[in-house]
Chain A
Amino acid sequence: MEVRVGIPRALVYYEYYPMWKAFFEELGVRVVLSDKTTKPILNDGINCSVDEACLPVKLFHGHVVNLKDKVDYLFIPRLKSVAKGEYICPKFCGLPEMIKYSIKGLPPIIDTEVNLRKTRSQLAHAFKEVGQVFTNNRKEISKAYEKALHEHDTFIQEVRKGKYPTEIIEGQKMLRKHNGDLCIALIGHVYNIYDRHMSMDIIAKLHQEGIKVITPEFLSDDVIQHKTDLLPKKMFWTFGERLMGAVLHLLDRKDIDGIIYLMSFGCGIDALVSDLCERKVRRETNIPFSLLTLDEHSGEAGFNTRLEAFIDMIRWRKRNESNISAHG
């Protein structure tokens, strides 16, 4: 019988799933995903995780619960660093432990360490380690690794062209109205903005209003890098770097009518980066900016009110700019 590896549909799933999937499938391993986020999944996550964790990490726990009885292994790599000289959020380093000690009755966890802080070549070692769980054939592993890298590149290229990760990975249909009068940049971690349940479907809501949406993932690495290089100090969090770089880049563009920063309550990186972004936006431009905070609440009223008011404000401002009185 095929070996089944479970991947929770949460956190960096939105960034690395195509790569992981290609690797496992090339080795003849079946990949099983947890279900899409639902209220019961979130509830399970909240119930079994430590109280101090942020909401996305709690949700990850819920996805593990959803998956654990359907698979032979769980794939929860210990991500320390995914880019040279940078770190990822500290909660990702401890994620395998958090899961192990919070949830009972788990299948074996593949918790290989990924640490590319010093050199990118560590990635090959990490994949080799993962591959060896299933085979001793080094050739096969390295072939699967090549395939994984290739899939990742293809995926990233598609995203940079303006496709949402969920459109590519899940075949989600996103209706874009092309007659949109506004363009809003939605800034936030991949797992906050693309999880439809957690984001209260913000992208669809904006589309419905006839608004074009730009996310940090649409921007090339060079654009991001170029902007963050100008910062007085290196941003050592990979996530923060992309968000900050995106905002800095968007400030130069003339086609952005507003910026929404979507953060989850209890995120240490967002606490700093969102504020840094807000200051930049407010000091250097007059682009409307709004910070929306996600938490466990499922009542959408407050969220929708803020979103509606923000859109109203932008339209009101635009209308005003375009009909300047002829009488001084």
Chain B
Amino acid sequence: MNTFYLGIDVGSVSTNLVLLDEHANVYKKLYVRTQGQPIKSLKEALAMLKQTVKTDFRIGGVGTTGSGRQLASVMVGADVVKNEITAHAVAALNHCPDARTILEIGGQDSKIIIIREGIVYDFAMNTVCAAGTGSFLDRQAARLNIPIEAFGSYALQSKSSVRIAGRCAVFAESDMIHKQQTGQNIEDIINGLCEALVRNYLNNLGKGKEIKDSILFQGGVAANVGIVAAFEREFGKKVMIPEHFDVMGALGAAILAKEEVKKTGTTHFYGFELVNREYKAKSFECQDCSNRCEVIEILSNGEPVARWGDRCGKWSGLTKEQSETSA
């Protein structure tokens, strides 16, 4: 029987799963859209994954990451819950041990991770604004009625450059509309947008950082050949796209789970039967003090399995005890 390690990345735009074999090779990967419903999409993805694996297998360990990592963790019984930066770096280093710069652009987040001597040396992540991330590209593609998958190839056909304001997604959009109304080519406008996005990314995140080879580009946006080309023009260097660029977070989580289970010896995974459980997230405003915390409660078949969001720890502490006794 094969032993696989499961990595789960519940992001704002996509939910990704990776099955890793004992030799840290990707056995199977899955990329589904979160569509604002992390619970539903994770259950569907797990069911799909189970179906596609034809051989007999067991799950040796589970790791979760992404902005929905906590939620995913209580649903599946994770062995490791890790932030995206560490997960992405671990996956990148596993793929390319001499990576020194990691560019990652996802749905809502963009990050740059600087690696020196095989460890994370520095990183930056976009602040409150999501300009220049995947969701913005998604929106522009939809507005222009171009499938997002083909968006980048339009940019490659551009003949002359059009400058688009990249500072803010709202400005960029109105700039694009102005340019389009004056008769500029759609290919040139899309290329201009790719360049604006790269410029904005480097101004915001790359500021003061030395971009050294090898440069890895990962995250959903790495599929966009227009952006890749714009990065390469900007750096004057080759940018590498790892084979599993779209699921690197999940891959990192799986690797971390494998390491964790090596230490602890056992996994907390609930098993694939969990897809038959009914999970619900409920939120309420705690009225016990003037903080009015928004408490989130996760119910599994009607039973609360986790709560968070409270400042005092009254609600989250409650389930910690429960899960400890049940574990």
A residues at B contact (CB < 8 Å): 35-36, 38-40, 196-197, 201, 265, 278-279, 282, 286, 288-289, 293, 295, 297-298, 301-302, 304-306, 308-310, 312-313, 316-317, 320
Cβ-based interface call for B171 (8 A): no
Do A309 and B128 form a contact, CB below 8 Å, given A301-B67, A316-B119, A320-B119? Answer: no
B83 touches A293 (CB 8 A): no
**When chains A and B are docked, how far (Å) is the Cα of A197 from the Cα of B84?**
25
A39 touches B291 (CB 8 A): yes
Do A305 and B67 form a contact, CB below 8 Å, given A293-B128, A313-B120? Answer: yes
Residue of B whose beta carbon sits closest to that of A300: B309
Query: Among the interface residues A293, A301, A302, A309, which one has the most CB atoms of the partner chain B within 10 A?
Result: A309
**When chains A and B are docked, how far (Å) is the Cα of A279 from the Cα of B209?**
10
Q: A309-B86, A317-B120 are in contact. List 9 more A-B contacts (CB 8 A).
A: A38-B290, A297-B128, A301-B67, A302-B67, A305-B125, A308-B83, A309-B123, A313-B120, A316-B120
B85 touches A312 (CB 8 A): yes
Which residues of A are found within 8 Å of B278, using beta-carbon distances?
none
**When chains A and B are docked, how far (Å) is the Cα of A317 from the Cα of B89?**
13
The 8 Å CB contact of A298, one of B118, B125, B294, is B294
B311 touches A317 (CB 8 A): no
Which residues of A are found within 8 Å of B109, using beta-carbon distances?
302
Beta-carbon contacts under 8 Å, B80-130 to A? 82-86, 109, 117-123, 125, 127-128
B123 touches A38 (CB 8 A): no
30 A–B contacts from the bound complex (CB under 8 Å): A35-B290, A36-B290, A38-B292, A39-B291, A39-B292, A40-B290, A40-B292, A201-B311, A265-B127, A265-B128, A278-B208, A282-B208, A293-B127, A293-B128, A295-B128, A298-B294, A302-B125, A305-B67, A306-B125, A308-B86, A309-B85, A309-B123, A312-B86, A312-B120, A313-B86, A313-B119, A313-B122, A317-B120, A320-B118, A320-B119
**When chains A and B are docked, how far (Å) is the Cα of A289 from the Cα of B123?**
9
Residue of A whose beta carbon sits closest to that of B68: A301
B119 touches A317 (CB 8 A): yes
Which residues of B are found within 8 Å of A298, using beta-carbon distances?
294
The 8 Å CB contact of A309, one of B83, B291, B311, is B83
A38 touches B86 (CB 8 A): no
Which residues of B are found within 8 Å of A304, using beta-carbon distances?
83
Query: Among the interface residues A36, A38, A39, A313, which one has the most CB atoms of the partner chain B within 10 A?
Result: A313
**When chains A and B are docked, how far (Å) is the Cα of A39 from the Cα of B291?**
6
B84 touches A305 (CB 8 A): yes
**Mask of B286-321 contacts with A, CB within 8 angstroms, 1/0:** 000011101000000000000000010000000000
**When chains A and B are docked, how far (Å) is the Cα of A309 from the Cα of B109?**
14
**When chains A and B are docked, how far (Å) is the Cα of A147 from the Cα of B122?**
49
Residue of B whose beta carbon sits closest to that of A282: B208
A288 touches B86 (CB 8 A): no
A314 to chain B, nearest CB (A): 9
B87 to chain A, nearest CB (A): 9
The 8 Å CB contact of A279, one of B118, B120, B208, B290, is B208
Which residues of B are found within 8 Å of A197, using beta-carbon distances?
291, 311
Which residues of A are found within 8 Å of B86, using beta-carbon distances?
308-309, 312-313, 316
**When chains A and B are docked, how far (Å) is the Cα of A264 from the Cα of B208?**
21
Which residues of A are found within 8 Å of B120, using beta-carbon distances?
312-313, 316-317
Which residues of B are found within 8 Å of A36, using beta-carbon distances?
290
**When chains A and B are docked, how far (Å) is the Cα of A295 from the Cα of B128?**
8
Which residues of B are found within 8 Å of A320, using beta-carbon distances?
117-119
Which residues of B are found within 8 Å of A308, using beta-carbon distances?
83, 86
**When chains A and B are docked, how far (Å) is the Cα of A43 from the Cα of B120?**
39
Which residues of A are found within 8 Å of B67, using beta-carbon distances?
301-302, 305
Which residues of A are found within 8 Å of B117, using beta-carbon distances?
320
Beta-carbon contacts under 8 Å, B51-80 to A? 67
B83 touches A305 (CB 8 A): yes
Residue of A whose beta carbon sits closest to that of B209: A282
A70 to chain B, nearest CB (A): 14
Which residues of B are found within 8 Å of A306, using beta-carbon distances?
125
**When chains A and B are docked, how far (Å) is the Cα of A34 from the Cα of B290?**
12
B74 to chain A, nearest CB (A): 15
**Mask of B116-147 contacts with A, CB within 8 angstroms, 1/0:** 01111111010110000000000000000000
Q: Which 3 A-B pairs have the closest CB atoms?
A: A309-B85, A308-B83, A313-B120
B99 to chain A, nearest CB (A): 15
A309 touches B84 (CB 8 A): yes
Do A38 and B291 form a contact, CB below 8 Å, given A278-B208, A301-B67? Answer: yes
Which residues of B are found within 8 Å of A316, using beta-carbon distances?
86, 119-120
The 8 Å CB contact of A313, one of B84, B123, B311, is B123
Which residues of A are found within 8 Å of B84, using beta-carbon distances?
305, 309
Which residues of A are found within 8 Å of B118, using beta-carbon distances?
320
**When chains A and B are docked, how far (Å) is the Cα of A197 from the Cα of B292?**
11
Residue of A whose beta carbon sits closest to that of B208: A282
Query: Among the interface residues B83, B84, B109, B125, which one has the most CB atoms of the partner chain A within 10 A?
Result: B83
B83 touches A312 (CB 8 A): yes
**When chains A and B are docked, how far (Å) is the Cα of A312 from the Cα of B256?**
13
B122 touches A288 (CB 8 A): yes
B212 to chain A, nearest CB (A): 15
**When chains A and B are docked, how far (Å) is the Cα of A304 from the Cα of B128?**
13
Which residues of B are found within 8 Å of A38, using beta-carbon distances?
290-292
